[in-house]
Amino acid sequence: MNDWMRKVLDSKRAARRRLRALSFSEKLKLLEKLRERSLEISRSPLRRRENKKV
């Protein structure tokens, strides 16, 4: 693993640590945002067209 990749992974770990340290209420806000995005993606006509192919 090169230095650049190590830095990327360290940065991701640090971001995850910060997100874990948020209060439960703050994390639930993020969870709701993620849920809304998941629902938007699943409603997308493009996604439905892709599903039909499979």
In whole angstroms, the minimum distance from the beta carbon of 53 to other proteins comes to 23
Rounded Cα distance between 29 and 35, Å, is: 10
The CA-based dihedral angle spanning residues 6, 10, 12, 14, taken in that order and rounded to the nearest 10 degrees: 180
Please identify, using beta-carbon distances, which residue of 32 and 50 lies nearer to other proteins.
32
Interface residues with other proteins (CB under 8 A)? 15-16, 18-20, 22-35, 37-39
Please, what is the minimum distance in Å from the beta carbon of residue 43 to other proteins?
12
CB of 25 to other proteins, least distance (A): 5
Q: Phi first, then psi: what are they for 21, rounded to 5°?
A: -80, -10
